[in-house]
């Protein structure tokens, strides 16, 4: 029985070493050079697998996504049917995302960019600040990541709402559900955070129409967006237009349609855009391999797989 990494864009040696540490008894192979006899491979972990690689494993039992998002795996047009896909749901990844979301909400709330610019010019501008409770934060996606970020922001005093496909009940968080409640959710939101998966339904969801429906009643008079979900969710040209038209005050973007973000992309230089390099919640090889190893042990013991992906839903 062997385990295969299919991670053409990642430092495979690092992941192989982490897996060897997490599961010393497992024969860990890597694609393409260390593939070996394909019949031996029962488990594979992947990120952006090239077509036909997973399909070429006749005895594959489980596919592990090395991230919380699974779009990188589902985009394989030859993905073998009926093989379960398990995604990452680990506290380490979740806490990293929560740090990112809280950091960037606070960065806008406390106007840190303005303070940075003032310091460069030695300007002592002790402008009036406001309480967290003056701001409504709306989180799109109330799953593992969205829920934790919502709770921490709530604890800091922000007025927090969340939007998901299905109805949630979370103490002191206003929960909206489905397309019919999207506009009401936007109308009460000063800072919009996306922690949605990339699916056909969420593609392009952060567009001009969405942005124009956001609240303007907050202390800044215009909304702010933070996208740490996936780049496909944002229409970059609409974001730039809205920034320049005054429909949007600022944006923090961690994810992009094309990654790395091309050097000539105008998002890099817009004074009110903060670009981060898809680093909101980084997958730590040792943590993720320990998670995958534990999941393999469960499977070998005949226990049900956890955090299974619903291929029809796309997440």
> DSSP assignment of the chain, as one string?
-EEEEE-TTS-HHHHHHHHHHH-TTSEEEETTTT---GGGEEEEEESSPPTTTTTT-TT--EEEESSS--HHHHT-TTPPTT--EE----HHHHHHHHHHHHHHHHHHHTTHHHHHHHHHTT---------GGG-EEEEE--SHHHHHHHHHHHHTT-EEEEEESS---BTTBEEEESGGGHHHHHHT-SEEEE-----TTTTT-BSHHHHHTS---STTSS-EEEE-S-GGGB-HHHHHHHHHHTS--EEEE---SSSSPPTT-GGGT-TTEEE--S-TT---HHHHHHHHHHHHHHHHTTPPPSSB--TTTT-
Binding partner of 145, given ligand OXD, ligand NDP, none, CB within 5-8 angstroms per partner class: ligand NDP
> Please, which residue, 2 or 281, has the CB nearer to ligand NDP?
281
> Please, which residue, 280 or 296, has the CB nearer to ligand OXD?
280
> Please, which residue, 42 or 71, has the CB nearer to ligand OXD?
71
Q: Can 299 be counted among the known catalytic residues?
A: no
Write out the residues near ligand NDP by the rule CB under 6 A: 67-69, 97, 141-146, 163-166, 195-199, 201-202, 228-230, 254-255, 278, 280-281, 315
> Please, which residue, 160 or 196, has the CB nearer to ligand OXD?
196
Please pick, among 87, 109, 154, 230, the residue that the annotation labels catalytic: 230
Binding partner of 161, given ligand NDP, ligand OXD, none, CB within 5-8 angstroms per partner class: none
CA distances, 163 to each of 42, 144, 166, 174, 196 (Å)? 38, 13, 8, 9, 10
Smallest distance from the beta carbon of 259 to ligand OXD, in angstroms? Answer: 10
Smallest distance from the beta carbon of 128 to ligand OXD, in angstroms? Answer: 38
C-beta nearest to ligand OXD: residue: 67
Binding partner of 143, given ligand NDP, ligand OXD, none, CB within 5-8 angstroms per partner class: ligand NDP
Beta bridge partners of 226: 193, 252
Binding partner of 226, given ligand OXD, ligand NDP, none, CB within 5-8 angstroms per partner class: none
Binding partner of 285, given ligand OXD, ligand NDP, none, CB within 5-8 angstroms per partner class: none
Smallest distance from the beta carbon of 56 to ligand NDP, in angstroms? Answer: 27
Q: What is the rounded distance in angstroms from the CA atom of residue 192 to the CA atom of residue 188?
A: 10
* Count of all residues that appear for the chain in the document: 315
Binding partner of 166, given ligand NDP, ligand OXD, none, CB within 5-8 angstroms per partner class: ligand NDP
> Please, which residue, 105 or 222, has the CB nearer to ligand NDP?
105
Q: Can 270 be counted among the known catalytic residues?
A: no
Please pick, among 152, 216, 270, 278, the residue that the annotation labels catalytic: 278
Smallest distance from the beta carbon of 89 to ligand NDP, in angstroms? Answer: 6
Smallest distance from the beta carbon of 182 to ligand NDP, in angstroms? Answer: 8
Smallest distance from the beta carbon of 281 to ligand OXD, in angstroms? Answer: 6
Q: Which residues are catalytic?
A: 230, 278
């Amino acid at each position: 029985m062997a385990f295969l990494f299919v991670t053409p864009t990642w430092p495979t040696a690092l992941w192989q070493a982490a897996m060897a540490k997490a599961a010393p008894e497992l024969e860990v192979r890597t694609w393409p050079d260390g593939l070996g006899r394909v019949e031996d491979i029962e488990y594979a972990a992947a990120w952006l697998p090239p077509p036909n690689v997973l399909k070429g494993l006749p005895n594959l039992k489980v596919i592990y996504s090395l991230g919380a998002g699974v779009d990188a795996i589902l985009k394989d047009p030859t993905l073998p049917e009926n093989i379960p896909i398990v995604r990452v749901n680990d506290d380490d990844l979740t806490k990293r995302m929560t740090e990112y979301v809280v950091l960037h909400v606070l960065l806008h709330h406390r106007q840190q960019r303005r303070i940075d610019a003032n310091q460069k010019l030695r300007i002592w501008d002790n402008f009036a600040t406001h309480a967290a409770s003056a701001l409504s934060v709306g989180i799109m996606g109330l799953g593992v990541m969205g829920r934790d970020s919502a709770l921490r922001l709530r604890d800091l005093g922000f007025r927090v709402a969340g939007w998901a496909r299905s109805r949630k009940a979370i103490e002191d968080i206003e929960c909206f559900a489905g397309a019919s409640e999207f506009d009401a959710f936007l109308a009460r939101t000063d800072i919009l955070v996306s922690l949605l998966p990339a699916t056909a339904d969420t593609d392009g969801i952060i567009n001009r129409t969405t942005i124009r429906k956001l609240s303007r009643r907050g202390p800044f008079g215009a909304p702010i967006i933070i996208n740490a979900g996936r780049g496909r969710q944002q229409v970059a040209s609409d974001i730039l237009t809205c920034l320049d038209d005054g429909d949007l005050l600022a944006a923090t973007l961690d994810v992009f349609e094309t990654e790395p973000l091309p050097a000539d992309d105008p998002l890099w230089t817009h004074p009110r855009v903060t670009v981060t390099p898809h680093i909101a919640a980084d997958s730590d090889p040792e943590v993720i391999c320990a998670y995958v190893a534990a999941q393999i042990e469960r499977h070998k013991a005949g226990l049900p797989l956890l955090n299974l992906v619903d291929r029809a839903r796309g997440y």
